Amino acid sequence: MDLKKTMNGYFERTQLPAEISPEKMTPVIIKKDVKSESAEKQPVPAKAEQPAPAKAEQPAPTKVEQPAPAKAEQSAPAKVEQPAPPKTEQPTPPKAEQPTPPAESKPVPEIGASAFIKIVRHHRITGREFLNLLGNSKISNKAYQEIENSKGLTVKRLIEILEESSLTREDYEKLIIAVQQTAAARDKAKADQSEPVQPQAPQAEEKPAEKAEPAAEEHPAKAKEEQTKELPKTEKAPVNIKPEDEPSDEPDDEDEEDEEEEKKPLSTKKLFIIIAVAAIVLIALSFVIRYVATGSFLPGENGGASSQNLDESGLFAAMNGLPVSTQPAFTRNAAYTAGTPYKESDVTDRVMKGDRFVFCDKDTVYILRCSDGVMQQLDSRSYGEDVKLLGLLDTEKGVAVISETLKEGIANASEGDDSPAAEIAASRYETVVELLDGELPENRQNISLYKFSGRCAGAWTESGKAIFALWEGLADGANGSDGNSFMPYVTAPDNNTSYCSAENVFIGSTPANAGFVTVFSLDVQSGSVSCATAAGSEGQLVYGQGTDIFVFQGNTLLRYDVSGNVTLKDSCTVTGIAAGFSAVRKDEDGIKVTALDNGSAVLNVLDNDLNSVMTVNGIGGGELAATCFNGGETYIVDASGKAYGIDAEGKTMEESTVEVTAGSTAAYNDKMNIRISPSGDAGQRTGLVLSAVSPTGEVLSTLEINSGTVADNAKDEYISSPAETDSTAIGIDAEKGVIAVPVTYFDGVSQVERFFICNISGEGELTYKGSIIEYDRNSSKLFALIQDDIITAVMSGGRIISADPADCSVIAYVNIHRSEEIYSYQA
């Protein structure tokens, strides 16, 4: 087939607007030019001076350029749909047909099946309600029965059935009005219902609306406001329009409600009673249905969260126009510690692998060789301004350097004098993983380069795999008809790009945000990558434990299994929604999830199959900051630092069994931790206190660090330690009972960087041993390592010193330097 010829054939049949006919266009151009500017610009002879013909006839250019069809478009909303594709194609819901706010009863133009379905979903019409509405329409029996009897009917198919049915635009208009009335009546009923019937376990569905629910609006601004008034928790009620979702003999409440809407004369009292009774019946029914479907009255039991089964264009349509979450995916706020600290992600800033030591500071990766305690710098790689260095991951194969960059739109117009580069394609963040040579990380010729779409929220190593949880908003400039412009992807070292399949995307039935959290699993030996994605929600907490990666979004907890290819293992809904203080923890007792519910924290305890075991409501209040776990205990910390403890039985603890602290605590061993904190009163720093503390917070011993003790000549108010905020800066050898603590201060003459070396007894007694000291350096990174009986003091400002912990004598030192040459990813 000659494509060009075929296209031209079609093009030639295109109707040309009258405005561009030569007769109309010529006067527009010629008159204007002759009149204003052509004379001086054009080196044209005498004719340029000819009087412009028929000036009076020249229409105002702006008017001339407005073709008739434009008028309708002018008044249309800004967000617009892709045009309806041929019938055989996946329907892309038209933007213009997106649900109008409920207050408006006027149907939008171009009403059709997809618009109707959009509005149905917007109003969370249940399957039963939907069937009732259809049953009262002029839909053919055949189409109705097909919808009614289809199990697992997809939205796409549903729209196709409706399109093929005999429904007209007028029918859709009537249906939409009925939908709006049904939703309004239902909302009113729920709003009026103060305390619904509730079984002993907390059931999110029955609770009144709460303000913080982030889930479930298909459309931004107005819809979001609306949501605060609506029933955030009704998202738990089936929103899908599958008819089988409510197979009961539910009464046709909506019919009655519709009538009530129309016949206002009905007394308010009567109306209220009818609505309240209907609501209670509905709620009771929802319990019955859940019981029938899942065998349990409790949410999350056995049942996974509902997900839409959408293809790429469907995903795009579901999220396009929704706001991109301002809060990228995140890990637990680890600023607070209860008992023994633990890490939320395996990303670090230093890795000792064999005799190679790799660390990163700001924009530079340093690679050194360590031989008998003597360091030798092999390479330094300074990444440019357009790359953000995130850290390192110690994989089985080698050190992985993780960085982030913004991949500009792939189609850039060249820069002209007055026109800046135009980005046509989507710009997307990429997390770049450079898997260095396992033995010779300095070898730039053997780097496996992977580029994952999105920004890194957390990374873990597990069974020979590197796992990455990445977040990205729906790409700006994405095109719904081109999945490659927005679907998560990975570009392998051979430069082949693979995209996450739409089948592996979980998206709730009412997405609230346009974005993805993707779990990528990279087999570091084979180089194979698999992925699965959660889409459409705000506030996505990620947590990794072994082969389980959890993504907590909205009120849905998703668990991915990364033992093989990444797969969605199971999911459940929990009480409350993911919030900044939320955390997930899996241990031998099961899984704990903290969430926000009615302005306070709620603890969901699940068993290992995600069945709900226990829910504890009403923990704390106000501004909540963090969750800490300690064994079976859970602590919710508010912004003032106050901790609310819940024991393993779900009871409120009168007193914490462990100390909940802000700041940095380094895990020493099971019996004690090391902490360094400022000393002084009333905000006046007078030095530091190094403490050995038991997990319960009992201080076993302390060592003052100030000018009167071990920091000679120090100006006490200037004494600080990077370990105050980053406990990993402390070098620990628990076996030998040695710690090295980096401290900086000003001694009146010089800036001092000093490592205090202490012995620590089995009982926690701290004894000052000696120090490593450097003057007039200004390191942005200062940390100690103790390995193979050698203390390595790293001062990124220029020197690494190795010392013998026995007598603190210097074994060797090496000056390190940052390369001025900008490093580029090695292809």
Partner 1 sequence: MSEILTLAAGGDTAAFTQLYTRSYKKIYFVAYYSLATSKEAVEVMTASLKSAYEEIGGCKSEEDFDLLWLKKTCEQIIARYREYRKTPPRQEPDPDFIKASMNRLTDAERLAVTIWAEFDLEPKDIASVTGLKLEVVSKKLDSAREKLAQKL
Q: Which is nearer to partner 1, 33 or 523 (CB)?
A: 33
Q: Which is nearer to partner 1, 40 or 195 (CB)?
A: 40
- Identified binder of partner 1 from the candidate list 58, 96, 226, 590, rule CB under 8 A: 96
**Contact call for residue 806 and partner 1 (CB under 8 A):** no
Q: Which is nearer to partner 1, 323 or 576 (CB)?
A: 323
Specify the stretch interacting with partner 1 by CB under 8 A; choose among 129-137, 206-214, 480-488, 659-667. Answer: 480-488
Q: Which is nearer to partner 1, 428 or 754 (CB)?
A: 428
**Contact call for residue 264 and partner 1 (CB under 8 A):** no
CA of 86: how far to CAs of 192, 471, 484, 555, in Å?
45, 33, 21, 37
**Contact call for residue 639 and partner 1 (CB under 8 A):** no
- Identified binder of partner 1 from the candidate list 197, 281, 284, 411, rule CB under 8 A: 411
Q: Contact 713/707 with Cβ under 8 angstroms?
A: yes
Look up residue 15 and give its two tokens: 């109707």
DSSP-assigned beta bridge partners for residue 567: 561
**Contact call for residue 84 and partner 1 (CB under 8 A):** yes
- Identified binder of partner 1 from the candidate list 479, 563, 600, 669, rule CB under 8 A: 479
Whether the CA torsion 333, 335, 338, 344 is positive or negative: it is positive
- Identified binder of partner 1 from the candidate list 171, 284, 419, 445, rule CB under 8 A: 419
Specify the stretch interacting with partner 1 by CB under 8 A; choose among 134-142, 345-353, 405-413, 501-509. Answer: 405-413
Q: What is the DSSP letter of 113?
A: H
Specify the stretch interacting with partner 1 by CB under 8 A; choose among 63-71, 281-289, 704-712, 812-820. Answer: 63-71
Residues 14, 246: Cα–Cα separation, whole Å = 49
Q: Which is nearer to partner 1, 466 or 478 (CB)?
A: 478
Look up residue 109 and give its two tokens: 């133009």
Residues 324, 320: Cα–Cα separation, whole Å = 9
Residues 299, 301: Cα–Cα separation, whole Å = 5
Mark residues 711-740: x for contact with partner 1 by CB under 8 A, - for none. ------------------------------
- Identified binder of partner 1 from the candidate list 60, 83, 385, 749, rule CB under 8 A: 83
Residues 358, 434: Cα–Cα separation, whole Å = 13
**Contact call for residue 318 and partner 1 (CB under 8 A):** no
Q: Which is nearer to partner 1, 321 or 722 (CB)?
A: 321
DSSP-assigned beta bridge partners for residue 505: 533
- Identified binder of partner 1 from the candidate list 56, 58, 59, 89, rule CB under 8 A: 89
Residues 380, 367: Cα–Cα separation, whole Å = 6
- Identified binder of partner 1 from the candidate list 170, 355, 476, 609, rule CB under 8 A: 476
**Contact call for residue 46 and partner 1 (CB under 8 A):** yes
> What values do phi and psi take at 603, rounded to 5?
-105, 120
**Contact call for residue 131 and partner 1 (CB under 8 A):** no
Residues 460, 181: Cα–Cα separation, whole Å = 50
Mark residues 533-552: x for contact with partner 1 by CB under 8 A, - for none. --------------------
**Contact call for residue 827 and partner 1 (CB under 8 A):** no
- Identified binder of partner 1 from the candidate list 197, 277, 422, 639, rule CB under 8 A: 422
Q: Are strands 822-823 and 374-383 parallel, antiparallel or unpaired?
A: parallel
**Contact call for residue 406 and partner 1 (CB under 8 A):** no
Mark residues 26-45: x for contact with partner 1 by CB under 8 A, - for none. xxxxx-xxx--xx--xxxxx
**Contact call for residue 320 and partner 1 (CB under 8 A):** yes
> What values do phi and psi take at 211, rounded to 5?
-75, -30
Site residue total, partner 1 (CB under 8 A): 81
What is the edge-to-edge ordering of all strands in the sheet holding 699-705? 665-667, 673-678, 688-693, 699-705
**Contact call for residue 86 and partner 1 (CB under 8 A):** yes
Say which residue the tokens 């190593």 belong to: 461
Q: Which residues, 423 to 462, sit near partner 1 by CB under 8 A?
A: 423-425
Q: Which amino acid is at 810?
A: V
Residues 340, 446: Cα–Cα separation, whole Å = 39
What per-residue string of b and e applies to 715-746 under the rule 16 or more CB within 10 Å gives b?
Answer: ebebbbbbbbebbbbbbbbbeebbbbbbbbbe
CB 420, min distance to partner 1, A: 9
CB 76, min distance to partner 1, A: 5
**Contact call for residue 56 and partner 1 (CB under 8 A):** no
CB 647, min distance to partner 1, A: 52
Residues 783, 214: Cα–Cα separation, whole Å = 41
Look up residue 195 and give its two tokens: 């305390």
**Contact call for residue 749 and partner 1 (CB under 8 A):** no
Q: For residue 728, which of 388, 345, 429, 425 has the smallest C-alpha distance? A: 345
Q: Which is nearer to partner 1, 115 or 793 (CB)?
A: 115
Q: Are strands 790-795 and 782-787 parallel, antiparallel or unpaired?
A: antiparallel
**Contact call for residue 95 and partner 1 (CB under 8 A):** yes
Q: For residue 561, which of 602, 531, 592 has the smallest C-alpha distance? A: 531
